[in-house]
Amino acid sequence: KAGVTQTPRYLIKTRGQQVTLSCSPISGHRSVSWYQQTPGQGLQFLFEYFSETQRNKGNFPGRFSGRQFSNSRSEMNVSTLELGDSALYLCASSLGAVPGELFFGEGSRLTVL
Amino acid sequence: AQSVTQLDSQVPVFEEAPVELRCNYSSSVSVYLFWYVQYPNQGLQLLLKYLSGSTLVESINGFEAEFNKSQTSFHLRKPSVHISDTAEYFCAVSDRGSSASKIIFGSGTRLSIRP
């Protein structure tokens, strides 16, 4: 069974640009969550999608958005990038039956210059 | 509101020594508890979980954690660590009552093993 796949693994952007990150969950998993990981703030919850609907959202500005497609694949977008957006963005999928039982991808490391 | 406190940001131990990584949580409702491990340059992996039943849970690689409701703790232990256990460990809590809850992670404990 294939794991959670995130693309791209690494990317470099400049301030003001936008970025789109992609996540393919484990087959059969309908819940996809996104987290931002930084050395200073640790793991912070961005949002969760279940069956194409956002059902939970963290405390991030509106520049951070996401969506989920009918095949459960998810994308997150960050517009008007700031230096502080440099981070490892982790996607996690789950069946959704037990909150917290997550399967993580290896992450997309974003560097904003 | 839920919160998770991992009391130690770094724990250095010698190989084959015992280790305990501490985790305390606060919540007004019943919870599920988890430990995740992140090896260098990788995503997080579920190490073990407490959902219900026995308060002592074990992983396949020798770690165990005990749910202590009165002390609101879920400390992770291993009697003898190996170099391969070098990683960052995250305690996490989620609300038992909601199917749409946010999972709250602690700030992580970096375990470094000295030969």
Contact state of A99 with B93 under an 8 Å Cβ cutoff: no
Torsion sign over Cα B13, B18, B24, B25: positive
Q: How many CB pairs under 8 A join A and B?
A: 64
Q: Do A99 and B95 touch (CB under 8 A)?
A: yes
Share above pLDDT 90 across residues of chain B, in percent, rounded to a whole number? 66
Cα separation values, B76 from B37, B68, B99, Å: 11, 12, 26
Give the lowest-confidence range in A77-86, B48-57, B104-113: B48-57
CB contact under 8 A, A42 and B105: yes
Q: Peptide bond preceding A8: is omega within 30 degrees of 0, i.e. cis?
A: yes
Q: Where does the pLDDT of residue B1 fall: very low under 50, low under 70, confident under 90, or very high at 90 and above?
A: low
Does A90 lie at the interface with B, CB-CB under 8 angstroms? yes
> Quick one: B34 exposed, middle or buried, by C-beta within 10 A (0-12, 13-18, 19+)?
buried
Would you state the pLDDT for residue B100?
52
pLDDT tens, position by position, B30-46: 888 999 999 988 889 99
The distance of Cα A81 from the centroid of its chain, to the nearest Å, equals 15
Bridge partners (DSSP) listed for residue B10: B110
Q: Per residue of chain A (113 residues), give pLDDT as tens.
A: 679 999 999 999 999 999 999 999 999 999 999 999 998 888 999 999 998 999 888 899 999 999 999 999 999 999 999 999 999 999 999 987 776 789 999 999 999 99
